[in-house]
Amino acid sequence: MADQPTSHPRKKLYIETVGCQMNVLDSELVVARLRDDGYELTTDIEEADAILYNTCSVRQHAEDKIYSALGRIKQLKKRKPELSIGVLGCMAQKDQNLILKRAPHVDIVVGPGQLARVPELLTIAKAEAKPQLAVSLARTAGSRDDVTSSFDNYDSDREPSVRPSPFQAYLRVMMGCDKFCTYCIVPSVRGPEQSRPPDGIVAEARALAGQGVKEITLIGQTVNSYKFREPDGRTTRLSDLLARLHDVEGVERIKFITNFPNDMTDDLLQAVRDLPKVSRYIHVPAQSGCDLVLKRMKRMYTVGFYEDMLARLRETIPGSSVSSDFIVGFCGETDESFQKTIGLVERSRFKNSFIFKYSPRTGTKADDLFADDVPEEVKKRRNHELLELQTAISLEDNMEFVGRETTVLVEGRSRSTTRREGWDGVDQLSGRTHCDRIVVFDGPERLIGRMVQVRIENASGVTLFGQVVTAERIASSV
Ligand code: 5AD
Ligand code: SF4
């Protein structure tokens, strides 16, 4: 770490992150690098010396929000010409120079495979008074090796202060995606699929545990496709990696997201069943319940295959919960195809589903080949209908927990908690069960980061409510 003279005031960094867990982790790494470069974080955009947006390209809406944020800070830059502004991540890789055209007050545009260069690019932009663009090669711009090596791996830098919480951390096991679902921009902006060497992942998990991290979430666009071949031919699958991480002292819970249905192999399901630290929660997006739509999406499975996989999963891992993603209003989705999705959701009993309206992305196969022919009103209606159905199912399933005791890893104060006048030291806390259900209950803040037993007394579609049953025992062991 570069030494900072104590008399030198640190520069202020304001960073906003949108999108998926990959971006949350990327921001952590960027902040780590910039701290070494003399920056400290601020939440006040007005006092920032540098404003960075770590962006998402998955849907148009996410991009629109960033362009409006850039519009809003134009005046700030006029008032403070020394202010540095950066657009990082997927939108930077996708739009490249277009960002500088639409927002000429931006100083750096940096794709997800170039983020290690952010500090250097900020310096160059300032020294040369010229915007800097750093992106990786397009998927068709060279050999696979060339394109792959243009997406840099810089995961060893970590910065605890921007984690979801001090004891929860993301750990990237793979980068990129090779599935090329026709609607999805991710393979273009995040590059070719690469699995990281297991030794590095385990070393990182040990380091995280040493910093007090108890819950590690392994992330990859298709995390269950993880496969690393050693030069001697030995192969590490995700199940093997989970077993190795299970041995890391201090780590109490391990999750992994997101899974691809075709790669849900028996060895992985058995690992989840047999390794007690591994959360019994699997996010495995179905995207649609209609074979014709799945084919047009190039998902490479049928509804029948998906349901068989689900049955196998539930048979192997009792007490597990499954969640899914759905896109409604994809090109050519008729009422009949939508009804098939409704049918799949009715039968599958997902813990929850993330539902998105199809958003055409320039550069994807679907945008090239198919018309975005479902009107916005219909997309909205289908989104609403599917969400209502899922919420009703989630509520029914959550009600099953009422009267039962469950182990909860306490994540923090519940979002709705505000300390009241005459506060008695009892907060409303929030945590998750082993199958990833959110539990809210009263308890002292010192329970944060600990496993507690909670008796569930009530439930809504998204939350279980209960009382701690082991507070005394836990309190005395603190
Ligand atoms: N439009 C709408 N939703 C999309 N997703 C990916 N691409 C698009 C798109 N073009 C959704 C998928 C994926 C989730 C992360 O985002 O459901 O699983
Ligand atoms: Fe996108 Fe499909 Fe890859 Fe997921 S598996 S990131 S939806 S291309």
Asked if residues 52 and 88 have their Cβ atoms less than 8 Å apart, the reply is yes
- Ligand 1: residues with CB < 6 A are 58-59, 183-184, 285, 287, 325, 327, 356, 358-359, 361
pTM of the model: 0.92
Which among 117, 148, 179 is the end of a domain?
Answer: 148
What 3-state DSSP class applies to 173?
Answer: coil
DSSP letter for 248, please. Answer: S
Task: Let me know whether 240 and 128 are in one domain.
Answer: no
Task: Let me know whether 431 and 337 are in one domain.
Answer: no
What is d(CA 214, CA 169) in angstroms, rounded to the nearest whole number? 8
Task: Let me know whether 29 and 135 are in one domain.
Answer: yes
- Which is nearest to 357 in space by CA: 336, 344, 375, 343? 375
Task: Find the 184 Cα to ligand 1 centroid distance in Å.
Answer: 6
Which among 125, 148, 171 is the end of a domain?
Answer: 148
Confidence check: pLDDT of 8 > 90: no
Ligand 2: which atom is nearest the Cα of residue 178? 3
Which among 361, 383, 399 is the end of a domain?
Answer: 399
Asked if residues 329 and 358 have their Cβ atoms less than 8 Å apart, the reply is yes
Task: Let me know whether 273 and 357 are in one domain.
Answer: no
What 3-state DSSP class applies to 216?
Answer: strand
Phi, psi of 251 (to 5 degrees): -80, 125
DSSP letter for 323, please. Answer: E
Tokens at residue 131, please? 């915007």
Q: Is residue 100 part of a domain?
A: yes
Strand (E) positions, 183-241?
A: 194-195, 215-219, 227-229, 235-237
- Tell me the pLDDT tens digit for each residue of 387-423: 999 999 999 999 999 999 999 999 998 876 555 555 5
Confidence check: pLDDT of 46 > 50: yes
Using a 6 Å cutoff on CB, does residue 245 contact ligand 2?
no
- Which is nearest to 394 in space by CA: 338, 353, 454, 447? 353
Q: Which of 20, 24, 183, 306 maximizes ligand 1 atoms within 8 Å of its Cβ, making it the mutation to test the pocket?
A: 183
Domain count of the fold of the chain: 4
Task: Find the 185 Cα to ligand 1 centroid distance in Å.
Answer: 9
Range in 82-86, 252-256, 314-318, 466-470 the model is least confident about:
466-470
What is d(CA 467, CA 440) in angstroms, rounded to the nearest whole number? 8
Q: Is residue 157 part of a domain?
A: no
Task: Let me know whether 274 and 287 are in one domain.
Answer: no
Q: What is the domain extent for residue 206?
A: 163-279
Q: What is the pLDDT of residue 426?
A: 64
Q: List, as one string, the DSSP characters of 103-151.
A: -TT--EEE-GGGGGGHHHHHHHHHHHTS-EEE-PPPTTSS-HHHHHHTS
Ligand nearest to the CA of 182: 2
- What's 287's domain CATH number? 3.30.750.200
Task: Let me know whether 395 and 287 are in one domain.
Answer: yes
- Which is nearest to 189 in space by CA: 62, 337, 38, 69? 62
- Tell me the pLDDT tens digit for each residue of 226-252: 999 988 999 999 999 999 999 999 999
- Tell me the pLDDT tens digit for each residue of 206-232: 999 999 999 999 999 999 999 999 889
Asked if residues 313 and 322 have their Cβ atoms less than 8 Å apart, the reply is yes
Chain-wide mean pLDDT for the chain? 92
Q: Is residue 273 part of a domain?
A: yes
Q: Is residue 156 part of a domain?
A: no
Please state the rounded mean pLDDT for residues 90-113. Answer: 97
DSSP letter for 442, please. Answer: E
Task: Find the 328 Cα to ligand 1 centroid distance in Å.
Answer: 10
37 against 164, higher pLDDT: 37
What is d(CA 279, CA 271) in angstroms, rounded to the nearest whole number? 11
- Which is nearest to 289 in space by CA: 367, 233, 344, 362? 344
Q: CA 17, 18, 21: angle at the middle one, nearest 5?
A: 90
DSSP letter for 330, please. Answer: -
- What's 432's domain CATH number? 2.40.50.140
Confidence class for position 128, pLDDT limits 50, 70, 90: very high
Asked if residues 110 and 135 have their Cβ atoms less than 8 Å apart, the reply is yes
Confidence check: pLDDT of 314 > 50: yes
Task: Let me know whether 210 and 136 are in one domain.
Answer: no
Please state the rounded mean pLDDT for residues 148-168. Answer: 75
Q: Is residue 6 part of a domain?
A: no
Please state the rounded mean pLDDT for residues 63-80. Answer: 96
Task: Let me know whether 188 and 269 are in one domain.
Answer: yes
Task: Let me know whether 227 and 268 are in one domain.
Answer: yes
Q: Is residue 311 part of a domain?
A: yes
